[in-house]
A and B are shown apart, each in its own frame.
Chain A
Amino acid sequence: MADKPKVAFYWCASCGGCEESIVDLAEDILFVADNVDIVMWPVGLDFKRHDVEAMPDKSILAALINGAIRTSEQEEMAHLMRQKSQVVIAYGACAHQGGIPALANQFELEEILRWVYHDSPSTYNDEKTRPQTKFYDENGRIPELPQLWNVVRTLDQVIDVDYYLPGCPPSPKLLKDAVIALLTGNVPPKGTVLAPDIALCEECPRKETKPTDLVFDEFKRPHQVMIDTEKCLLAQGLICMGPATRAGCGALCTIGNMPCSGCYGPTSRVRDQGAKILSSIASSVNGKTEHEIDKIIAGIPDPVGTFYRYGLAGSILRKKVKFEERV
């Protein structure tokens, strides 16, 4: 048994969906279990940090880390996994691009804490207590809690990453392909995103119905319309990120009658997914004056939340860069 390659899973700032996706391998998980030793998997197996610390450096074949990095603990663990593993895979949209947690990058840490612990209408906190990283327990010990950071980061903004498995969550097929590639040593160049380098429209069943002369007179949000189940969603005035998002998911959302929100991130030729889809969509807005244009784009009330839903941390700017001083 000892000569089976070792694989580790770890989770950082994430929802747990990525863990689910591993379980979603279904029978294939048996194939994985047969061929590798899982040496760390907080959600499924009882290994502790010191077990990993005790392992020799680079003794793990691959660590699949999901979640964005937003606490000191996550960063520490990321470094540890890096140290012990030959290959690190950023697993899922959060590790890859920041994901939903990175929407917090629209705010300063202080703003978030203030809202959550004081200002939100459901909060009663007269002492203005804030979470502490240290306290003295009755035994006189000082347990320590992770520090929350101001910036939510992608995994590769913290450690060196070898591959990316995109998606919220990655499709089991991509995971299986990745595991096989690793086991057979048949790996692509470092830095590769392990999903097709082509946009989602390629595999979207609605592609046929998209007109070649689509212009936008109006934008709508999914809750505002009865969505036609067959027609291209953009052609229905809905913002679909498909044209700017990697394929590989099997067009799950559009098949499920929802527009693509971009979780697989951009193709390798694009540096900023949000900017690129914006450029594409805005170019086709039906207006020639500021006034006409503004009227139409008012239908996109939250462009950052729309175009950077999964990609803010990994975008060019990464985070809101300046904050007005609040008095």
Chain B
Amino acid sequence: MYKEKTEKGHQIKIVAFFCNWCTYTAADLAGVSRIKHAPNFRVIRVMCSGRVDPQFILDAFSKGADGVLIGGCHPGDCHYIEGNYKCLRRFQLFKKVVADLGIEADRLRLEWISASEGDKVRLVINDMVSKIQKLGPLDLPAKYKSWDSEMELLEKCVREQSNEIIKEEMEVISHG
């Protein structure tokens, strides 16, 4: 399969969930205005920040995202009236869970970016990328591999030892 990691090593990757009406539009506006910003994020368009299921966030982290950004309309401005409040409520509680499970606060972010704030897209993304770069990659897939390697390693050494023990026992038995 195609190798995409550049020579520069691990590239910080942020998964961004942008609501269709404000933040996604703002990201488009940044484009139309040619406002340059860091390329490390990948946007998934949802209709409203209220659609963002905390499971998506965990899923993204577990599959290798170094950060997750949620972008919605400013309070009071949600296209669906109050989807963003529901998003905020979940976020306030969920960030505690994420922190308790060892993911640094800077890796999960909720931002209100209105359709006109193309420049805020730049500010938020650049800021988030630079903060995460300081933290380094999260790379949970590698973490899971390293966790699971304890099984292989121990398993191997347990097997070898037990064979020895069995051999020893056999000897004891056969030689009285």
Contact = CB atoms under 8 A, between A and B. Distances in A.
B97 A158 contact: no
Given A151-B147, A304-B100, A307-B97, A316 B62 contact: yes
Nearest to A266: B55
Nearest to B59: A316
A307 to B, nearest CB: 7
Chain A interface, DSSP helix/strand/loop, else mixed: mixed
Contacts of A198: none
Contacts of B93: 278, 281-282, 285, 293, 297, 300, 303
A283 B90 contact: yes
Interface stretch (A22-30, A84-92, A160-168, A268-276): A268-276
Chain B interface, DSSP helix/strand/loop, else mixed: helix
B26 interface: no
A279 interface: yes
Interface stretch (A2-10, A113-121, A246-254, A319-327): A319-327
Given A293-B92, A297-B92, A321-B103, A275 B55 contact: yes
A135 to B, nearest CB: 13
A141 interface: yes
B144 A318 contact: yes
Interface stretch (A58-66, A142-150, A177-185, A223-231): A142-150
Interface string B159-176: 001100100110010000
A317 B58 CA distance: 7
A293 B90 CA distance: 9
B57 to A, nearest CB: 8
Most chain A CB inside 10 Å of its own CB: which residue of B62, B93, B140: B93
A289 B92 CA distance: 10
B158 interface: yes
Contacts, number: 128
Interface in A293-323: 293-294, 297, 300, 303-304, 307, 315-323
A134 B172 CA distance: 19
Contacts of A278: 54, 90, 93-94, 97
A222 interface: no
A164 B150 CA distance: 25
Contacts of B148: 151, 157
Interface residues of A, number: 47
Given A285-B89, A287-B89, A293-B92, A270 B55 contact: yes
Of the four ranges (under 10, 10 to 19, 20 to 34, 35 or more), the interface on chain B belongs to: 35 or more
B94 A272 contact: no
Nearest to B57: A275
Contacts of B86: 282-283
B85 to A, nearest CB: 5
Contacts of B143: 321
B103 A303 contact: no
Most chain A CB inside 10 Å of its own CB: which residue of B62, B94, B97, B143: B97
A276 B158 CA distance: 39
Interface of A: 72, 75-76, 106, 134, 141-142, 144, 147, 149-151, 157-158, 270-272, 274-276, 278-279, 281-285, 287-290, 293-294, 297, 300, 303-304, 307, 315-323
Interface of B: 53-55, 57-59, 61-62, 75, 85-86, 88-90, 92-94, 96-97, 100-104, 138, 140, 143-144, 147-148, 150-151, 154-155, 158, 161-162, 165, 168-169, 172
25 contacts: A75-B155, A106-B101, A149-B150, A150-B150, A275-B97, A278-B54, A278-B97, A279-B53, A279-B90, A282-B93, A285-B92, A287-B89, A290-B92, A293-B92, A294-B92, A297-B96, A303-B93, A315-B58, A316-B55, A317-B61, A317-B62, A319-B147, A320-B100, A320-B101, A322-B102
